[in-house]
Amino acid sequence: MTTVTDRTKFLRLALLGDAVVTGGNGLIYLALAGPVSSLLGPEAGLLRGIGAFLLVYGLAVGLLSTRRPISPAGTTAVITLNVLWSLGSVAAVLAGAVAFTTVGALWAVAQAVVVAAFAALQVTGLRRS
């Protein structure tokens, strides 16, 4: 017998993975803004702001992953924000909108790929649930 939990397990894991990675990045940007700024390029103040956003966003996505049932509208919002984040990150690098170091530009693109992958996993999970 298939239960609601069985059908949503993949989506829950995709959301939870996103929450952990996002929240972890947020904590690093908040706690180590100075050294991260030196490595990646963006000013420490900008990294703190991004870190605070990522921490709150990660907590919200983590909370969403625990809901029974998982909100399709909430999941769609997460997917949309993840796609926008990915596109915005690549655009920021290409446009030179942020003074990235070479490592920072590579990091921004790598993050965009990871976030886009989470969005794809979440789309798959939403379809399965």
3 state SS for the chain? CCCHHHHHHHHHHHHHHHHHHHHHHHHHHHHCHHHHHHHHCCCHHHHHHHHHHHHHHHHHHHHHHHCCCCCHHHHHHHHHHHHHHHHHHHHHHHHCCCCCCHHHHHHHHHHHHHHHHHHHHHHHHHHHC
pLDDT tens per residue, range 26-64: 999 999 999 999 999 999 999 999 999 999 999 999 999
Domain limits of the chain?
A: 4-128
pLDDT at 4: 46
pTM for the full predicted model: 0.91
Q: Average the pLDDT over 117-129 and give the result.
A: 96
Task: Give the whole-angstrom CA distance, residue 125 versus residue 110.
Answer: 23
Give dist(CA 79, CA 120) in Å, integer: 8
Q: What is the pLDDT of residues 50-105, one digit of tens each?
A: 999 999 999 999 999 999 999 999 999 999 999 999 999 999 999 999 999 999 99
* 118, two tokens: 């989470």
